Structure 1
Amino acid sequence: MLLGTFVPKLDEKGRIILPAKFMGDFEGGVFMTRGQEHCVYLFSRREFEALHERARQASVTGKKGRDFLRMFLSGASEEVPDKQHRVTIPPMLRDYAGLDRELTVIGAGNRAEIWDTAAWNEYYAQAEADFADTDEEVIAGIF
């Protein structure tokens, strides 16, 4: 399970050092793709393959489903961390997420997310207020 918040820097070659505590999940490679709210999602090979298998079973007759899968999979890239735990974020994904030198990487359970730090701080400020004020179930059977 991927948890926590980290603040690595993007180097001049478009690489980041992944948090050491994530490396057990990412040893077999990292799958990056467009995330919602303009971040970059990172999945382990196992998680990405399971997600893809579920997506393959979905109906392709619904336009929203087709559109989502096109955006999600057309932006996907497999990267292999080097010995220093660095991975390159492809230019297309850096542009999509507006990534600059200052980054925030969060663990989100089955995936990690890479955010531009300013975008994360803005998102966090709004989401934290909503989180603190939650008075109804938002995840069925959990909270």
Structure 2
Amino acid sequence: MFRGVNSISLDDKGRMAVPTRYRSELRESCEGQLVVTVGTDTCLLLFPLPEFEELERKLVKLPALNKQVKRLQRLLIGHAAECELDGQGRFLIPEPLRRFASLDKQVVLIGQGNKFEIWDEVLWDRCRQEWLEEASLEGLEDMGPELGALAF
């Protein structure tokens, strides 16, 4: 499971070094094979290859005539790029994906359980602050039994 927020610098080639604490798990679970794609926010999603393949299998089984499904497939599968950790724990984020997420020099890697999000650090700080200001747990019970059962 991937947890935590990490501030990371991209190098001049657009490579990002994965924090040391995640590297062994990524090498064991997927031999350093990763997939990076666009997220539904202005961020990127980074998956171990087996996790992405599972998501991809589920996405392609959805009804292709549904407009929202087709959009999601185009975003997640259409923009997906396979990458591999090098000997120093880095991987290259393709330029079109860096442009999509407005990634500059400083980025934030956010653990999300089975995947990571990659955000431009300035954008992340701004969005996080907005979410904290909007945060309300009222109505949580109306969001389904699984979400309503969460206790903080």
TM-score per shorter chain, which class?
Answer: over 0.9
Task: Please say if residues 60 and 73 of structure 2, whose CA atoms lie closer than 8 Å, have aligned partners that are also in contact.
Answer: no
Structure 1 spans left out of the alignment, 5+ residues:
none
- How far residue 129 of structure 1 moved from its aligned partner, in angstroms, is 2.5
The structure 1 residue matched to 2:76, chosen from 55, 72, 78, is 72
Structure 1 CA distance for aligned equivalents of residues 124 and 80 of structure 2: 21
In structure 2, how many angstroms separate the alpha carbons of the residues matched to 1:18 and 1:124? 22
Determine if the alignment matches structure 1 residue 57 to structure 2 residue 57. Answer: no
Q: What amino acid does structure 2 have at the position aligned with 1:136? A: G
CA distance in 2, matches of 1:130, 1:43: 29
Is the Cα contact below 8 Å between 2:42 and 2:100 reproduced in 1? yes
**TM-score, structure 2 length as denominator?**
0.87
Aligned length: 142
Deviations 1:89-132 (A, max 9, x none): 0001000000000111100112101100000001100112233x
CA distance in structure 2 between the aligned counterparts of 1:26 and 1:35, rounded to whole angstroms: 20
Work out the CA distance in 1 between the residues paired with 2:144 and 2:8.
Answer: 30
Q: What secondary structure, in the 3-state scheme, does the structure 1 residue paired with 2:87 have?
A: coil
Q: What TM-score does the superposition give when structure 1 sets the normalisation length?
A: 0.92
Q: Which is higher, the Rg of structure 1 or of structure 2?
A: 2
Alignment of 1:10-89 (within 5 A): 10-27=10-27, 28=30, 29-89=33-93
Q: % of aligned pairs identical? A: 28
5+ residue gaps, structure 2: none
Cα drift, residue 68 of structure 1: 1.3
The aligned amino acid for 1:118 is V
Runs of 4 or more above 3 Å deviation? none
Cα-Cα RMSD: 1.4
